């Protein structure tokens, strides 16, 4: 029943988006809320990967939870827009299922503060969700591509932190994240170019996703350099 209701709601949203054919631009503050998610996730991964004291790791985890709470509206908008993206037919990734996948991953985000079997299973589901989002992104265009790019920027921080907290190899998760982030930049670069200039108040929806990825890129590279066994 819940799945049918979710599908009906998302199909209604899709029809509305088709009529409007445009997402509103995002403010710099809204973009920064999304950027804060990978920023805090990388802080957790760095502290775990470099053997920081438990108190420091816990403090970093707390900051990540605060960041996710602050970005709740942005995340919900991403999930909604992902569910309204074009379905390319049998055998392809279903955006409605992806929206539900993102929702489940976010529910599981609260579990990564503790390492247990259930959290590990949810982490694996989130990794699959992030991988599917990246795959859909490769064949998408316009605002559909932007929505899935933003989804990647929400999901991979959860994966990165989950790997760190579960004692799994962080460099492996980081390598996947770096690859996905570069795919976003490559996909949207022709329309968005360089970073937004100082004083910019709003950014076109597609370029908001690009701005997040551009901001994250050097930080991912810096983290890779800090971890002892980074690829």
> Over the stretch 64-104, which tens digit does the pLDDT of each residue have?
989 999 999 999 999 999 999 999 888 889 999 999 999 98
Domain-embedded: residue 179: yes
Confidence bin at 17 (pLDDT 50/70/90)? very low
Domain-embedded: residue 59: yes
Domain-embedded: residue 133: yes
Least confident of 7-21, 99-113, 138-152, 180-194: 7-21
Number of domains within the chain = 1
Structure tokens at 198: 């100082």
Residues above pLDDT 90, as percent of the chain: 58
Checking if the pLDDT of 20 tops 50, the result is: no
Checking if the pLDDT of 149 tops 80, the result is: yes
Checking if the pLDDT of 141 tops 60, the result is: yes
Structure tokens at 218: 């050097």
Q: What is the pLDDT of residue 123?
A: 84
Q: For the beta carbon of residue 29, count every other beta carbon within 10 angstroms.
A: 9
| Phi-psi map region of 141: left, alpha, beta (phi>0 left; psi -120 to 50 alpha) | beta
Q: What is the pLDDT of residue 18?
A: 43
Give me the DSSP letters along 56-96: HHHHHHHHHHHHHHHTHHHHHHHHHHHHTSPP--TTS--HH
Of residues 114 and 152, the one with the higher pLDDT is 152
Residue 208 near residue 150 (C-beta atoms within 8 A):
yes
Q: What is the pLDDT of residue 9?
A: 52
The mean of the pLDDT values for the chain is: 85
Q: What is the pLDDT of residue 200?
A: 67
Confidence bin at 201 (pLDDT 50/70/90)? confident
Residue with tokens 């949203």: 13
Of residues 134 and 166, the one with the higher pLDDT is 134
The torsion angle over the Cα atoms of residues 146, 24, 21 and 70, rounded to 10 degrees, is 50
Domain-embedded: residue 231: no
pTM over 0.75: yes
Residues above pLDDT 70, as percent of the chain: 81
Q: How far apart are alpha carbons 75 and 44 in whole angstroms?
A: 20
Q: What is the pLDDT of residue 15?
A: 47
Q: How far apart are alpha carbons 206 and 190 in whole angstroms?
A: 11
List the domain range (segments joined by +) for residue 103: 2-226
């Amino acid at each position: 029943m819940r799945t049918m209701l979710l599908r009906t709601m998302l199909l209604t949203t899709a029809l509305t988006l088709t009529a409007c054919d445009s997402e509103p631009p995002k403010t710099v503050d809204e973009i920064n809320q999304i950027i804060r998610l990978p920023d805090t996730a990388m802080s957790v991964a760095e502290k775990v990967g470099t053997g920081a004291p438990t108190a420091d790791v816990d403090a970093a985890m707390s900051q990540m939870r605060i960041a996710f709470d602050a970005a709740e509206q942005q995340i919900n908008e991403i999930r909604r827009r992902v569910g309204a993206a074009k379905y390319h037919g049998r055998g392809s990734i279903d955006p409605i299922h992806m929206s539900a996948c993102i929702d489940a991953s976010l529910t599981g985000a609260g579990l990564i503060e503790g390492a247990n079997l259930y959290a590990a299973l949810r982490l694996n589901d989130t990794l699959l969700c992030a991988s599917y989002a990246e795959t859909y992104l490769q064949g998408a265009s316009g605002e559909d591509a932007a929505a899935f790019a933003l989804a990647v920027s929400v999901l991979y921080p959860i994966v990165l932190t989950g790997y760190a907290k579960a004692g799994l190899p962080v460099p492996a998760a980081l390598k996947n994240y770096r690859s996905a982030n570069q795919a976003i930049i490559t996909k949207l670069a022709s329309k968005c170019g360089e970073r937004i200039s100082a004083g910019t108040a709003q950014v076109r929806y597609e370029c908001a996703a690009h701005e997040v990825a551009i901001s994250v890129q050097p930080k991912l590279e810096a983290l890779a350099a800090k971890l002892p066994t980074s690829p």
